[in-house]
Amino acid sequence: MMTTVGLTGGIGSGKTTIANLFASQFSIPIYIADTKAKELIAQKDSLQKEIKSLLGEQAFVDGKYNTAFVAGIVFSDQTKLEALNQLIHPYVQEDFLQWKQNQHSPYVIKESAILFESGSYKDCDYIITVTAPLEERIRRVILRDKIDRKTIEKRIKNQWNDENKIKLSTFVIDNRDFDRNLDKIQTIHCKIMEMIDENAEN
Ligand code: ATP
């Protein structure tokens, strides 16, 4: 089985930035679970039905996912958020496994904001967590998405804290600035390749 490396980190930590470096420097295939989840919600009628019965008919307007309505509910209701993630997770997992079969690489990276929260970390061989100071993350997201601090803070509250993520991670990338990010991913890439080789020998 090809090795799966999970890549996660809180909102604004720089997951996508780091994932792009693995792709550009080492041609590692990247599966972006958050984007795929949105595609699957748009495509799968059975999933749409399940979401409607959890959150209400308004979750879709003219067949389109009503993200504002959904966010309004789930980011103030942890139970609903978890239930929604549990509905989506099996679809993403199946899609990921299919995608992985078509990749030709020593390992693939699965990037997800909710790698731990969804339980999907259990299917990864190794895990990379990207961290950055909370204030810096909030500042980045305000700049990138033009959304207000309150909304970002609400989302952060629903994510696991870094301490708990780090405990279950193989590698941690401190992404407080862009300095040495190339060195950091080079080191991690080499270690992953070594571990893959060691496992192949055993
Ligand atoms: P989300 O969970 O919201 O998708 P993310 O963890 O994938 O976020 P990115 O989109 O990679 O984070 O980065 C968030 C923003 O911060 C982007 O605009 C990115 O260009 C910027 N950024 C990433 N890394 C750094 C860094 N080391 N220093 C300054 N800005 C950074």
Secondary structure (DSSP) of 138-152: HHHHHHHH---HHHH
pLDDT of residue 178: 80
Task: Name the E strands within the chain.
Answer: 3-9, 30-32, 60-61, 64-65, 107-111, 126-131, 171-174
Q: Which residues are known binding-site members for ATP?
A: 12-17
pLDDT digits (tens, 9 = 90+) for 12-36: 999 999 999 999 999 999 999 999 9
pLDDT of residue 177: 83
pLDDT of residue 179: 80
Cα angle: 125, vertex 13, 171; to 5 degrees = 30
The residues lining ligand 1, judged by C-beta closer than 6 Å to any ligand atom, are 9, 11-17, 113, 140-141, 144, 175, 177-178
**What's the CA-to-centroid distance between 181 and ligand 1, angstroms?**
13
Three-state DSSP state, 49: helix
Q: Using CA positions, which residue lies closest to atom 20 of ligand 1?
A: 17
